[in-house]
Amino acid sequence: MATLAEGLAEAERLRERWQFAAARDVLTALLSESPEPADRLPMVTGRRMLAEVLRDLGEADEAYAVARPLAAECEERFGERHPATARALTVLATVVHARGDLAAAAELYGRVLDGRLREQGPTGRAVRLARAHLALLHRDRAEAGGPESAEAGRARAELDAAYKGLRRAYGITDPDTIRFGLELARMYRSAGDGAVARRLLTIARAGCQAALEPWHPLSSLVRRELAELEPAPAPAPAPALAMAPVLELEPAPAPVQAPLDGPPGRPPVQLWTAAGMPEQPAGARYLPAPVTAEDRRRRAGRRRLVVLLAVALAVIVAAVVTVTVTVAVLTGGRDGGAARRPAARPAPAPPSGHERLRVELRDEGTTLVASWRDPADGPAPVVVAVARDGKEPAVVANLPAGTREYTLTALDPRAEYCVIVGAIYPGEAVAEPTTTCTRRAPGA
């Protein structure tokens, strides 16, 4: 039988993958078989996790039966300021919220946010999550007035502030940051502000690409929401092909017989020839020499690389950009970059004023080494993305401040790569990213 610690780790792994039913089964068996007293911290953690997965499965009444006594026991056993009490109280508030009792849920959220618990330290995540969920509760209350009502606007502002706190504390790759960024994008979309919603979803997608598998349900939700905001553009009309002029040739003269001597006793052999072909007109154009399939592939690949290089810049700006103070971002909240589609593209964010990184790219065939120096403003966290052969770029690394080099390995020596590097300055816009590409000879 697995130990209590091993069972809790397995349940947490399943929760992170959103396999809530499997996590419920693991926790139920673990709590029923463990000899540990129910008020020991590992058992308290298991009971809290069970309440969370029951809530996420939609079994709010069953979750309430676990969370309500747990919160009371934690407060009595550990005290009202203990991290276990803070987490249990926040989970109880979300369960009551899920049951539809908004007044009772608001009171519980208020207990977490009344100042007795610090936002820094072990109780920080519980406090930040309570603030974000309280904003969603205010959104639910404002639904009767519509997404453009004053109450809905206040709820958006509250969730915007809570989302900023999550991003500052845990970064864009944290699942809670991604989840509440998705909720905030939905609120802005309902209010008719598709540009801000698109920026938020682009940041959320970058976080999913860096931290989650493509099949993860949260990744799928973000992609679906972003696709609904970015409908596929109408196909461009095919360019007209220049045709060679049709030449009107003069009629050929009648053939003449040119007898050749044949074998003795047989008539001469007759060869039919033309007396002469007319010359082509002076202004006639001729079709170009045929182009091979390899030539077409290389030309198309280079055209795609040039076009998608601009797309790469927009996507990475969206992926790494942080909070700005301009009106164009979340009404004072977020700059996530421009959309990749030509239609309804929002205006680009103003420059942050920070110096771009000076990136050098060393091409070693199957390995690329990107290096840079810290800008004059000092070291900052760095995001790295890569595009291959003109394809859409993908975020491959979120690096801490002070990092000055990143190595990509196991590359195709025949492919072309572009490496995009941007520095993040917390609380401000990101410096303009730097793009550096390989220049490999054909056939290398």
Q: With pLDDT > 70 as the criterion, what percentage of the chain qualifies?
A: 69
Identify the weakest region by mean pLDDT among 110-124, 327-341, 358-372, 428-442. 327-341
| Residue 57: C-alpha distances to residues 24, 210, 241, 341 (Å) | 9, 26, 59, 36
Domain of 40, in residue numbers = 4-229
**Residue 295: pLDDT band with limits 50, 70, 90:** low
**243 belongs to a structural domain:** no
Instruction: Among 229, 256, 277, identify where a domain stops.
Output: 229
Q: Is residue 442 part of a domain?
A: no
pLDDT band at 402 (very low <50, low <70, confident <90, very high): confident
Q: Convert the pLDDT of each residue in 68-110 to its tens digit.
A: 999 999 999 999 999 999 999 999 999 999 999 999 999 999 9
Q: What CATH number does residue 108 fall under?
A: 1.25.40.10
**What pLDDT digit, counting tens, does each position of 101-114 carry?**
999 999 999 999 99
CATH of the domain at 413: 2.60.40.10
Phi and psi angles of residue 440, each rounded to the nearest 5 degrees, phi first = -90, 145
Higher model confidence: residue 393 or residue 231? 393
Separation of alpha carbons 379 and 135, rounded Å: 34
Q: DSSP 3-state assignment of 386?
A: strand
For the packed helices 194-211 and 175-190, what is the interaxial angle rounded to 10 degrees? 160
How does pLDDT run across 263-293, given as a tens digit for each residue? 555 555 444 444 444 554 554 444 444 555 5
* pLDDT tens by residue, 161-209: 999 999 999 999 999 999 999 999 999 999 999 999 999 999 999 999 9
Q: How many folded domains does the chain comprise?
A: 2
- Once rounded to an integer, what is the mean pLDDT over residues 398-421? 88
Give the tens place of pLDDT for each residue, 236-265: 565 555 444 544 545 555 555 545 444 555
Q: Are 64 and 47 in contact (CB under 8 A)?
A: no
- List of long-range contacts for 274-279, beta carbons under 8 Å, 24+ apart: 277/252, 278/249, 278/250
Residue 327 has pLDDT above 50, yes or no: no
For residues 10 and 152, membership in a common domain is answered with yes
Give the list of residues 6+ apart from residue 290 with CB closer than 8 angstroms, or none: none
- Give the domain-ending residue among 177, 194, 229: 229
Q: CA nearest 128: which of 84, 67, 169?
A: 169
Give the model's pLDDT for residue 133: 97
- 338 part of a folded domain: no
Contact present, 93 and 108 (Cβ < 8 Å): yes
Q: Is the pTM of this model over 0.75?
A: no
Chosen domain end from 180, 195, 229: 229
Contacts 24+ apart (CB under 8 A), 411-414: 411/365, 411/366, 411/367, 411/368, 412/366, 412/388, 413/365, 413/366, 413/440, 413/444, 414/440, 414/443, 414/444
Do 72 and 211 belong to one domain? yes
The answer to whether position 267 is within a domain reads no
Q: Is residue 82 within 8 Å of 117, Cβ to Cβ?
A: no
Residue 414, pLDDT above cutoff 80: yes
Same-domain pairing of 48 and 157:
yes
Q: Do residues 222 and 87 share a domain? A: yes
| Residue whose structure tokens are 């079994």 | 59
